[in-house]
Structure 1
């Protein structure tokens, strides 16, 4: 059931209870559990940086809970992976995936239909950079993905990462390719953003050091996961209601 259908069903139930209750709407509102706010459904979307195991998600979830943001539901179709403590481990991280492939093959729509996110946290482009896709090609794919998100939910919020820097031994050019892509993301995000469906660039690049924050020049280690969670947190909180 879509989010809109769920809310319509809840409204119908609430109206029926109000009409039938001899004590009127005030008692119905205080007693009916369907009046509780729906949780905000957040999809972490990306490649292995998000999903293998993507322990920044665990840290982010714990930080949100500790700060009182408990009405949050991480969503995704991918299998949970352990990070040392219990947390909401649903996600849409696919190791090795390219944003261009995801868009070209229409892989995203069924994941959206299965999970119905209100907010998407997207860290994509690392494998596209590795495969020497141009910034324009990558951003064109991003645009198609955002269009698919909006087709599923016209009010979706999309948080798009300026991706982590790379210093891979077998891709000497990747570091500059990341710089070029990241330089283009804020302007692209501003151009596609709307009041109904914001698209917000989140800077995961500044202050991230591949020498100390990754274990291979690409994937975050424990220190890198802390930095990822810390950057997602202030970007996400304003959209949690």
Structure 2
């Protein structure tokens, strides 16, 4: 089973972060269902000094380079990823996309109607690369701007409604789409370091949102269990497991 993380600054992370991708790697590495691989064309973290994804300074140096792969970018949203996903998915051959996008779109580029149109474009392009691809989509978690900008907050809420409808309308047995749940206990004060980007506590909650969605809907893996910060999985080959996960391991939608 091959996973590709797709996201914006909340997913790529900055120099010195663990990232929720790291938390998901820890989770996947503890499962016993079978071998898996994290794939994607990028590996870096965003570096404020260079204003580019040029850093490899993950908070845990033991995070293995193959597991650092992703398709995420600081300041990139559905608008940017829709035209990029077909090439990335063709090259990396992911089975499952874990997608956290939308906040940057609504904040700087497009309104909710335009953003959901880009979401549809993304899904179509992903399926052009793999008609059987599976997607798990995380709704937008409004950031601190939404506490004082009512129109922006309304656009976030409307987009999430449109995303739920899109998930229901476009999911198929051949290419199912899951809508993950925003962590109910997620707060900007404890789960972000600046009102937007996840703190270590927030990273665990974002990883749990994806892990629990896949477990509950598809029977994939198990419920999310956070590992201690900086603790690497105990397996000899942390990005592989012993028994393959196949389509038989996933419950029909």
2:13 corresponds in structure 1 to: 52
In the TM superposition, what is the alpha-carbon distance from 1:60 to its structure 2 partner?
Answer: 1.3
Q: CA RMSD in A?
A: 2.1
For residues 108-123 of structure 1, what are the structure 2 equivalents within 5 Å?
108-123=85-100
Q: Distance in 1 between matches of 2:147 and 2:181?
A: 25
Secondary structure of the residue aligned to 1:44 is: strand
- Relative distance call for 1:176 and 1:169 in structure 2 (3 A) is closer
For residues 138-217 of structure 1, what are the structure 2 equivalents within 5 Å?
138-168=115-145, 172-173=149-150, 174-204=152-182, 206-217=184-195
Secondary structure of the residue aligned to 1:143 is: helix
TM-score under structure 2 length normalisation: 0.72
Q: Distance in 2 between matches of 1:65 and 1:102?
A: 27
TM-score under structure 1 length normalisation: 0.76
In the TM superposition, what is the alpha-carbon distance from 1:219 to its structure 2 partner?
Answer: 0.7
1:92 equivalent to 2:96? Answer no
* Greater helix fraction, Structure 1 or Structure 2: 1
Q: Distance in 2 between matches of 1:171 and 1:205?
A: 22
C-alpha contact 1:167 1:175 (8 A) present in aligned 2: no
User: Mind listing any 5+ residue stretches in structure 2 that lack a counterpart?
Assistant: 45-55, 221-244
Q: Distance in 1 between matches of 2:120 and 2:76?
A: 17
Q: Distance in 2 between matches of 1:56 and 1:235?
A: 15
User: Mind listing any 5+ residue stretches in structure 1 that lack a counterpart?
Assistant: 1-39
Deviates more, 1:54-63 or 1:88-97: 54-63
CA displacement, residues 160-200 of structure 1 (integer Å, 9 cap, x when unaligned)? 11122211389724333322211221111010110100011
1:64 equivalent to 2:28? Answer yes
1:31 corresponds in structure 2 to: none
Larger relative contact order (Cα-Cα within 8 Å, sequence gap ≥ 6): 2
Question: Aligned residue pairs: how many?
Answer: 200
